[in-house]
Structure 1
């Protein structure tokens, strides 16, 4: 734990800057998006929001812009890793070493199954009762690069979120003297806020995911497992929806 007042103040300022520039700002934008949806005459369940959308009218330009979005996510996560490294936190302490590659992948797959299947059911229920928008994982046009960019987007999302909201944030909160439970809930609620654009179901569902993932990391310090698990969930959602969505009548 950091006891020096000047160093503690520096860590707090660092946290404010990092999350104002990254996922904290995304949370504010999501809140404003939800408020806009609530003020519309149509109920939430009759509105839709897309995650991966076209960003240009010309195919190659769209590809380039999709890749820049992925690069932004990767840089966000890299920033968290760099700041911890500069602070003297070894990557093995947060589970970003290569000592357990096979185990990390297996554990990640298990985490994906624990969250992914119930998460889909929870989404369908919350949409049915009118507290969530219809979430379209992808509205990208068919192109040779669509699946590739969706996979990269999934990896970018998982890398940025798990590094910043779990590994980086909780490590910094520990250094400030926060309890494990307080850090756990703060991390989970922050994760929920930047999914508010999906509705209250997205908010609550991601809090649950945040509680499970962050507690797992607190007990194991294996961050790669979280990155793998999150990426698998998003790959299935993004690519699966793009390929199978038009053929599955039970999906809204």
Structure 2
């Protein structure tokens, strides 16, 4: 890769068709909208995660002595548990839908952020995105666990029911849709409209992603911060969200379903 192309990748210019808001009322409204949306979604999750990390560190054994389960049963009654799991997924898809609507409402088409028709190249890039983040992420987790700065993360603690695996797949896609459309597509687009530089909006998006994973420990926070930098830059360069959604969903599906099926063989990760 030549120096000029590398420079454009590291320091991309904002798209010319994303108009920077100049009207003071529109700018204030955009600021208020971003704050409210984040407080209702991942911003509040970030604050809660920071408190969880502090709480864990103040307990005996620190965060390294804690266990965190990502998918847990919500009821002892099988049918009620299933409904609650699906409602959780619906909420995440609704967050993605809200983010998409607000992007469109701001005057930017969903085509502009790569949420139009799924392309064959989106799938290919999604697989690459999963590999680029998934394998190094697993290595970072193992290192963080050995250093005692990350909790023992249990991807699935659901009881062994007939619907467990399908629900885990749905959960993986719901998480991916909500995070990538809101944390990357929505936030980066709205910050562009407020005149933020590309690197500044990239860091803001990545820090937000890392913050709401801090309940897992420092490893979870740092790993997702790096994921946010890679995924955010990809979006800034390509204006495609589908590869990020697919890549994220593949990572979570492998983690959730793989752990559920091979839990006894994965004790070395604890």
**TM-score normalised by structure 2 residue count:** 0.92
1:91-170 to structure 2, matched below 5 A, reads 91-98=110-117, 100-170=118-188
Paired residue for 1:214? 232
2:221 aligned with 1:203, yes or no? yes
* 1:90 aligns with one of 109, 116, 126: 109
Shift of 1:247: 2.2
2:51 paired with 1:38: no
Aligned to 2:260: 242
Give the structure 2 partner of residue 51 of structure 1.
Answer: 70
Question: Runs of 5+ in structure 1 lacking a partner?
Answer: none
CA distance in 1, matches of 2:216, 2:101: 31
- Once the two structures are TM-superposed, the CA of residue 238 in structure 1 deviates from its matched residue by 0.5
Structure 1: distance between partners of 2:82 and 2:267: 29
Which residue of the partner structure matches residue 12 of structure 1? 31
Distance 2:267 2:51 in 1: 31
Matched with 1:27 is 46
Q: Residue 198 of structure 2: which of 139, 161, 180 is its match?
A: 180
Give 1:43 shift.
2.9
| Whole-angstrom distance in 2 between the partners of 1:247 and 1:122 | 19
Distance 1:52 1:29 in 2: 18
**CA distance, structure 2, for counterparts of residue 111 and residue 161 of structure 1:** 15
Matched residue SS, 2:268: coil
Q: Deviations over 1:4-46 (max 9, x none)?
A: 1100000000001101101111111111111110110123222
Instruction: List alignment gaps of at least 5 residues for structure 2.
Output: 1-19
Deviations 1:53-96 (A, max 9, x none): 01001111100000000011000110010111112211110000
Q: Is the 8 A contact 2:259 2:266 kept in 1?
A: no
Q: SS of 1:250's equivalent?
A: helix
Return the alpha-carbon distance in structure 2 between the equivalents of residues 146 and 170 of structure 1.
Answer: 35
- Does the CA contact (< 8 Å) of 1:26 and 1:194 recur in 2? yes
> Taking structure 1 as the reference length, what is the TM-score of the superposition?
0.98
Structure 1 vs Structure 2 CA RMSD: 0.8
